[in-house]
Chain A
Amino acid sequence: GDSVTQMEGPVTLSEEAFLTINCTYTATGYPSLFWYVQYPGEGLQLLLKATKADDKGSNKGFEATYRKETTSFHLEKGSVQVSDSAVYFCALSVNSGYALNFGKGTSLLVTP
């Protein structure tokens, strides 16, 4: 079945460090891929998306490229801030059911 695998956290970085959170997927067909962010005590916010191979999603300095050949959608940011501390979820959606299939989430802590 369809699934998403994310790197285990927690990830602890110093402010202004480079961030990579790995995400790989298994899916039938051609899924759309998403990164969602969950700040403490809040619901999920859509961070970025890509709907076809080689698409690059970007938002708030975060980027991710849909790589069909490696079935990956890694999240990157060049310089993290303390305010980026949150849990990040990679997700996919395929045609049938339209439900989002989430990874387990990666907790990020950015220290000053």
Chain B
Amino acid sequence: EAGVTQSPTHLIKTRGQQATLRCSPISGHTSVYWYQQALGLGLQFLLWYDEGEERNRGNFPPRFSGRQFPNYSSELNVNALELEDSALYLCASSTTGTRRSYEQYFGPGTRLTVT
């Protein structure tokens, strides 16, 4: 069974540009989560999508946004990029419903570098 996939692997942008990161969840998973892993800041929760809706968001400015498509894949958009947005962006997926077990399965990440 295929795991969570993310693209691209690496992304280099200049300050002020926009970045788009993509994630495909494990087949059968309807929830997608985005996390930022910045050097020295650990793993910070960004966004949670479930059944096409944004369910929760972490303490990040509105220029971090995203969406979930009908096939449950997801996009993370970062507008007006700043140098401190340089980080590894991790996507995770999980099941939902009454049998959810809260465990999340992670993709390999997209390394975003802002110059």
**Which residues of A are at the interface with B, using a C-beta cutoff of 8 A?**
32, 34, 36, 42-46, 49, 51, 89, 93, 96-105
Q: Are A99 and B45 in contact (CB under 8 A)?
A: yes
**Which residues of B are at the interface with A, using a C-beta cutoff of 8 A?**
4, 31, 33, 35, 42-43, 45, 48, 55-56, 58, 90, 92, 94, 100-109
Known: A98-B31, A102-B42, A105-B42. A44 touches B102 (CB 8 A): no
Q: Are A42 and B108 in contact (CB under 8 A)?
A: yes
Q: Are B109 and A100 in contact (CB under 8 A)?
A: no
Partner of B101, one of A32, A36, A43: A32
A99 proximity list for chain B (CB < 8 A)? 33, 45, 48, 56, 58
A105 proximity list for chain B (CB < 8 A)? 42-43
B106 proximity list for chain A (CB < 8 A)? 36, 43-46
Closest to A96 in B: B56
Q: Are B90 and A98 in contact (CB under 8 A)?
A: no
How distant is A106 from chain B, measured CB to nearest CB, in Å? 11
B107 proximity list for chain A (CB < 8 A)? 43
Closest to B43 in A: A102
Q: Are A51 and B55 in contact (CB under 8 A)?
A: no
Known: A89-B43, A103-B42. A97 touches B48 (CB 8 A): yes
Known: A89-B43, A99-B33, A99-B48. A51 touches B102 (CB 8 A): yes
A98 proximity list for chain B (CB < 8 A)? 31, 33, 48, 55-56, 94, 100, 102
A104 to B44, CA, bound (A): 10
B58 proximity list for chain A (CB < 8 A)? 99
